[in-house]
Amino acid sequence: MLGTFVNAIAVVVGCAVGLMFKKIISKKISETVFVGLALCTLYIGVSGAIKGQDTMVIIISMIFGGMIGEWLDIDTFIIRVGESVQSRFNQNKQEDTFAQGFISASLLFCVGAMTILGSLQSGLSNDHQILFAKSALDFVAAIIYSSTLGIGVGFSALFILLYQGSLTMMASYVAPYLSDVVINEMNAVGSIILIGLALTMLKTTKLKIANFIPAIFMPIIIYLFI
Question: HEC states along 13-81?
Answer: HHHHHHHHHHCCCCHHHHHHHHHHHHHHHHHHHHHHHCCCCCHHHHHHHHHHHHHHHHHHCHHHHHHHH
Q: Per-residue pLDDT tens for 59-98?
A: 999 999 999 999 998 888 877 877 776 676 655 554 557 8
In this structure, are residues 33 and 175 in contact, taking their beta carbons and an 8 Å threshold? no
Looking at the chain, the whole-number percentage of residues with pLDDT higher than 70 is 94
Q: What is the pTM of this model?
A: 0.81
Rounded to 10 deg, the angle between the 152-169 and 74-88 helix axes is 130
Q: Per-residue pLDDT tens for 17-66?
A: 999 888 887 778 878 888 888 898 899 889 889 988 899 999 999 999 99
C-alpha closest to that of 112 among 223, 206, 226, 7: 7
In this structure, are residues 155 and 181 in contact, taking their beta carbons and an 8 Å threshold? no
Q: How much is the mean pLDDT over the chain?
A: 86
